[in-house]
Amino acid sequence: MSGYRFDRLKILVVDDNAHMRKLVVTILQAFGAIQIFEADGGERAWGLLRDANPDVVILDWMMEGMSGLEFVRQLRSSPQTPNPFVPVIMLTGHTHIDHVRQARDAGVNEFLAKPVSVKAILTRLIAVIEHPRPYVRTKSYFGPCRRRRGHDEYRGPERRAAAEATAVD
């Protein structure tokens, strides 16, 4: 028994499909979550980000109006963002590796491919709680470190560029 107090967590569920929202919310409630906020699109979610200050966002990719990807980019980079560090679990029917890459490059923490399962949702929630990624700020990106876990521990100087230059020489 892992004993997580999900009742202490504020979770924002963003999906323009009411059925999928209901399914995800039902699963979260069964985990013990009680502070669940729902939005049917990116614009409404942006307002809730400010008003509810969620701890985790579960976000659909494909939505009318602002897409999930646009929402994450705005969340990470906009000067108006209420919390650029909030972990985002991207829920999507896209399953191609290019889509995973796009989501990661937008600043998504965890990728959850549909069809959803109870275990998959719990696993992703535990991942953002137990294995948070470090954050990176470069000229063109702000968000969770895009390297795979296990490489995150290295804190020394970046050596690859120098190594590549040596190899070319």
Partner 1 sequence: MPKEQPIELFMPPNMLKAKVGGTVGGIDVAAIKRAEAAMETLKADFADWVGNDVDRLVQCRDGFARARDVEARDDLFRAAHDIKGQATTFEYPLVARVASSLCKLMEALNSPEALPLNIVDAHVNAIRIIFRDKIKDRSNRMAIELAEELEARVVETTELAA
- CB under 8 A: which stretch of 6-14, 39-47, 72-80, 100-108 binds partner 1? 6-14
Measured from the CB atom, the residue of 44 and 62 that comes closer to partner 1 is 62
**116 belongs to the binding site for partner 1 (CB under 8 A):** yes
Site residues (CB under 8 A) for partner 1, limited to 30-69: 30-32, 55-56, 62-64
Residue 97 touches partner 1, criterion: CB under 8 A: no
Q: Which residue has the tokens 């399962």?
A: 117
How are strands ordered across the β-sheet holding 110-113? Answer: 35-39, 10-14, 56-60, 88-92, 110-113
Q: Two tokens at 150?
A: 């296990």
Kindly state whether residue 127 participates in binding partner 1, applying the rule CB under 8 A.
no
C-alpha–C-alpha distance, residues 168 and 67, integer Å: 42
Nearest-angstrom CA–CA distance, 126 and 52: 21
Residue 133: which of 49, 76, 95 has the closest Cα?
76
Residues that bind partner 1 (CB under 8 A): 1-6, 8-9, 17, 19-20, 22-23, 26-27, 29-32, 55-56, 62-64, 85, 87, 92-93, 114-119, 121-123, 126, 128-130, 132, 134-140, 145, 155, 158, 160-161, 164-165
